[in-house]
Amino acid sequence: MKLNNIQSGDNITELLKTDLNKGFRLLVEKYSQKLYWHIRRLVILHEDADDALQNTFINVWKSIGSFRSESSLYTWLYTIATNEALAIINKRKRNAAVSIDDMSSYFANSQEGSTWFDGDEAQLKLQNAILQLPEKQRIVFNLKYFDEMTYVEMSKVLKTSEGALKASYHHAVKKIEKILVSD
């Protein structure tokens, strides 16, 4: 999977040089779903994830001319997507009326919950446990557990050393297991 990401990234990088529009369309088609789910797992709400995803690709388009061919396209996309997701979360924090610290109560009491969340109780427990993690740990856990990203790629996305990321993931797992066992 890792090799495929790099190889396909290189092919699209080459196409972006020769036919920008076609290369960008291919980029969107290939990565929009992966980036959407990465964002969605952080922001939870579909509407917010939709906004962040579109903003991500608009920012990618704006800076596509200065994209360095030697950098990994894949990690660059995830960096922008992560930043957009965090921007949405920070904006939501400033609006005290919207709080998603407890998904159980949020999804039980809102239209959003019944419409866009289809998980059983076990899934809901896991998502609630992940929500209890500090923000950086959440991101590390999601990228490792759901996106199966390597620590090498993750260090480029989050501008953090591999050692720190490994430690962060280890702590995240311990915390989640403790929460799941205690419930």
Partner 1 sequence: MMKKSDNIPEKNPFKVPDNYFEEVNRKIISATTGIDKEVKVVSIYSRFRTSLLIAASVAGLILLSFAAIKILTPVRPYSQLSEVLKEMSPDSYINDIDLQPLEEDASSLVLSEEGPDVSKKDIIDYLLNENVEINDIYAQL
User: Residues interacting with partner 1, by CB under 8 A?
Assistant: 20-21, 24-25, 28-29, 32-33, 36-37, 40-41, 44, 46, 50, 53-54, 57-58, 61, 65, 115-120, 122-124, 126-127, 145, 173, 176-177
Minimum CB–partner distance for residue 163 and partner 1 (Å): 16
Minimum CB–partner distance for residue 166 and partner 1 (Å): 10
Minimum CB–partner distance for residue 29 and partner 1 (Å): 6
Q: Of the two residues 62 and 159, which places its CB atom closer to partner 1 in the complex? A: 62
Separation of alpha carbons 149 and 112, rounded Å = 29
Separation of alpha carbons 43 and 35, rounded Å = 12
Distance of CA 81 to the CA centre of its chain: 6
Minimum CB–partner distance for residue 55 and partner 1 (Å): 10
Looking at residue 64, the DSSP 8-state letter turns out to be G
CB 39 within 8 A of CB 52: yes
Burial class (CB in 10 A: 0-12, 13-18, 19+), 153: buried
Q: Of the two residues 55 and 94, which places its CB atom closer to partner 1 in the complex? A: 55
Minimum CB–partner distance for residue 11 and partner 1 (Å): 18
Q: Of the two residues 35 and 94, which places its CB atom closer to partner 1 in the complex? A: 35
Question: H helices within 45-97, ranges in order?
Answer: 46-62, 73-94
91 φ, ψ (degrees, to nearest 5): -65, -40
Q: Which two tokens stand for residue 162?
A: 């591999």
Q: Of the two residues 94 and 121, which places its CB atom closer to partner 1 in the complex? A: 121
Q: Of the two residues 146 and 161, which places its CB atom closer to partner 1 in the complex? A: 146
